[in-house]
Amino acid sequence: MTALERYQSWIEAPWLDEESRAELKALTDEKEIEDRFYREMEFGTAGMRGVLAAGLNRMNVYTVRRATKGLADYIISCGEEAVKRGVAIAYDSRRNSALFAKETACVLCAAGVKVYLYESLRPVPQLSFALRYLHCISGVVITASHNPAQYNGYKVYWEDGGQIPPDHVKEIVACIDKVRDFGAIPSMDYDEAVKDGILTIIGKEVDDEYIKRVEGLSVRPDLLKKLGDEFKVVYTPLHGTGNIPVRRVLKELGLKNVYVVPEQELPDPNFSTVRSPNPEDHAAFTLAIELAEKVGADIVLGTDPDCDRIGVLVNNDGEYTVLTGNQTACLILNYLLTQKKEMGTLPENGAVVKTIVSTDLAKTICDAFGVTIIDVLTGFKFIAEQMEMMEETGKYTFLFGFEESYGCLTGTFVRDKDAVIGSMLAVEVAAWYRSRGMTLYDGIQELYKTYGYSYELTTSFEMPGKDGMEKMAKTMSAMRASTPWVLGDKKVSAVRDYQTSVRTTAEGETSEIKIVKSNVLFFEIEDGSWAVVRPSGTEPKIKVYFSAQAESMDAAKAKVAKLQDAFMQIMKPYME
């Protein structure tokens, strides 16, 4: 069927609600119609994410029900025990999140799958914890993370607490593909499901256990208690799920001066005070900085709507400087390793896991402590996979994991990035430096002086709609067909193509990349710098990453600027 034929079939469908029918009938833009119906909503590496609207390629109750029916059928195929173990469900503050969570629960219950549904909005990491705590086979969280307000998403987790692995994704997609009639998807009445006991509402008990374990990760709780009366924190949940758990942890650990940005404290599906509810966007901290200047905050924290990413600002002589995700992670990493070594609790087989596009500074830090560092593809589920393998084999003890996009984790009871844990540790690190007569800004400068200067930069090109998808595919194909071996005045020493699993040197020598396949190109530069290009897995854009090391920060930034300019000149023809 063509996009127009699918569009017409939806309008005429007896199962479509009248509000959605009217929305579709009102469409006059042919490109908009094509974009909504040229393909089915894609169930990707962790689930679905897209714009909220009526249509086959949009987030709505119909695409959510269809995905859930596929998930239910796959769980049933895993056996009776999987069905009994059931699925945990959480949701964030976005538009229709509560509705989609309820629809997900009712479709699963109709299929006979046990469901545990949070009573109200919760962070993503609490979903990861809950499904492990309750021994569920799977989990679903309704969220679009840090995307703009018009988006929502459907993320699926598996029994280890991490996002669903590729082999399970293939099986679920096969089950979803068999669901052709949106009007024939069974759904159980919500109240009946609760009454029958197949749907259990969860809340305080699971919350309390999660908070207890988070607080148990505090390395030096004495620091927070000692400075609790004078240390000042400004926090913004950016209208999301972090408000209650982040504040609770900081309060229970002894901090008495936590100031929450009042305009961004409560859930708001429109995220009306920000351009984007993303800690990576410095503009999201405008109100937080105003409050920090007013109260003289030592540190500013911000978490995204599903509270898995954390942004940190530090006080530098009254000016609040935004740390990158790499900087925040390295400060926490150095603190954890330093404290564990001093206390004699640093394991001999300790390991840290980071993504390939995250800073090499972490490796230098780990080398100094004799800790193994492991690189994985972009996406925290690959870090979770390493954690699971470490537990199974005993070869390594997991210490810390992070990705440059403002996500990190320590502890093993959660298997996704956790901004509740990250917030606690960021404050603890700042308190540690304060106890040494230093600010967190002084701390990052100390890191650079000790381990060397490293600078990273990420840029992106938005490519929405069908045309954008095609352009992204053409761009990646063109980069492979005409591989650049010189970038500015620097030679490319090797190119890693993670899609073909082959590393090729400038001399033509090849070797196998022993890692899962992905549409990523990694350019190794002769001076140790690098550039990476890949389509985003969560947004309609191509992302390009740059990194360089030098004898000073200015020199490292200059290297990245040259590298970026050269790379953009090469990419420009493909983007037009």
φ and ψ at residue 519, rounded to 5 degrees: -80, 75
Active centre residues (catalytic)? 145
Name the residue among 100, 420, 419, 415 with its Cα closest to residue 245: 420
What is the Cα–Cα distance from 377 to 126, expressed in whole angstroms? Answer: 24
Q: Which two tokens stand for residue 239?
A: 């209208």
Q: In sequence order, what E strands does 13-120 have?
A: 47-51, 87-91, 115-118
Instruction: Write the CB contacts of 345 (distance below 8 Å, at least 6 apart in sequence).
Output: none
DSSP 238: T
Instruction: Write the CB contacts of 369 (distance below 8 Å, at least 6 apart in sequence).
Output: 337, 341, 346, 350
Strands 350-355 and 372-376, sheet pairing? parallel
What is the Cα–Cα distance from 508 to 440, expressed in whole angstroms? Answer: 46
Strands 138-142 and 151-158, sheet pairing? antiparallel
What is the Cα–Cα distance from 120 to 113, expressed in whole angstroms? Answer: 21
Going from the C-alpha of 192 to that of each of 113, 536, 554, the distances in angstroms are: 14, 41, 64
φ and ψ at residue 561, rounded to 5 degrees: -60, -45
Instruction: Evaluate whether 302 touches 236 at the Cβ level (below 8 Å).
Output: yes
Q: Which two tokens stand for residue 417?
A: 């990035």
Strands 151-158 and 486-487, sheet pairing? unpaired
Name residue 413's amino acid: F
What is the Cα–Cα distance from 362 to 303, expressed in whole angstroms? Answer: 23
Q: Which two tokens stand for residue 85?
A: 């173990």
Strands 299-303 and 310-316, sheet pairing? antiparallel
Instruction: Write the CB contacts of 81 (distance below 8 Å, at least 6 apart in sequence).
Output: none
Q: 3-class SS at 64?
A: helix
Q: In sequence order, what E strands does 127-213 have?
A: 138-142, 151-158, 199-202
| Total residue length of the chain | 576
Strands 397-403 and 350-355, sheet pairing? parallel
Name the residue among 256, 422, 417, 415 with its Cα closest to residue 323: 422
Going from the C-alpha of 454 to that of each of 182, 326, 328, 364, the distances in angstroms are: 52, 10, 13, 10
DSSP 59: B
Largest CA distance in the chain: 70
What is the Cα–Cα distance from 364 to 352, expressed in whole angstroms? Answer: 12
DSSP 220: -
DSSP 39: S
